[in-house]
Structure 1
Amino acid sequence: MLSVPALLTGRRRAAPAADPVLRAYLNEQLAAATGLGEQLRRASTLEVLLPERTTLLRVRREVAADRAALRTAMRRLGASTDWAVVGVSWLSAHAARLTPLLHRLPVVDRVAGALPAPHPTREAVVEGLIALEDVLGGLHRRAVAAGLLGELVAAERAEWAAGVRGLAARARAQRDEVEAAHRRCAQPLLRT
């Protein structure tokens, strides 16, 4: 509730500082959402996932919106953003782009710039599957953590808290969509 001076000045009282452990947890979740956005961006650029690009980019936009809802909740709960934690997560997501090189047998073809095959190669399919599995892991983590965050703000009646309470359901729906894309991507590999 706003105090009379806050109503007169139009400013809200600053939220009390959050418990340091809660602040660390929320920053880890913010960092994970940042990394997940980068994983989705990377997956959407893979040639083998071209048919799934629209879905992946839409899920990325939704994750960005959910990340914004988390930042709002953090401000309301008095948990400041630890940009070092968020930055390290962003960097690690960028470093994950090197992972496919370790999983592909014909690395020389990739380095030498071999022409893409008319149909996805089995190696490209595996690269797409690994990228989607990284995304699925991040979405599952988000769904679990969002359930806990929803419980944390269950008593709050403010509009921002309603957005936080909806994060778990959105993360599960996003995970289901990306899992369906994973199954579609796996079809060429299953047709041996």
Structure 2
Amino acid sequence: MPRPRLPRSPWTLALTAAVALALAGCGGPEDAAGGTEPVVHDVPEIPVQVTAPPDWERGTRDGAFLLRAPSGTGSEDFRANVVVTGEESTHTVDEAGAATTAAVASIPGWVPDPDGQGPTTLAGLPAYRVAGTYDAAGTAVAQEIVAVRTGDGPGAWVVDLTASYAVDDADGAAQARAILESVQVAPAG
């Protein structure tokens, strides 16, 4: 998949939203991680690692890396998930955040979280957070998108980490947020 050089291409943002929406209630093969220790995942072709509970399923779809809560946990109608996308970019996290804010506004029923927008940090690096809720087939879903840069020089990436979970799924929310917080960014270069 070609990686556009434009800031937060509509394709990347649309892909992230589409993958998160497609995962609502999705079935699929179980990831046989076994054990009780969290699992560190190297995200394919994106310079980050994330740590997830051992029973979360992992996979890729259309260039996005995804982690999904196991079947039978949390909400019956929406499985908590985290989607990671990224592209090489010279744009700042503020520019990325502005593009993400504009993109999520096109999600039908999107209601921004007034306290969940703006500059933040992730893995000790400047980041931009966009959060809100929307309706997915009758289930209220909360979504948090955090954009982070892998560095300032040539070859730096802007990486989006998107956590989605049913509003009434406290466990899924806590686990998805923990995955976001676990991110380890590889410096550019």
Q: Provide the TM-score with structure 1 as the length reference.
A: 0.29
More helix by share: 1
TM-score (norm 2): 0.29
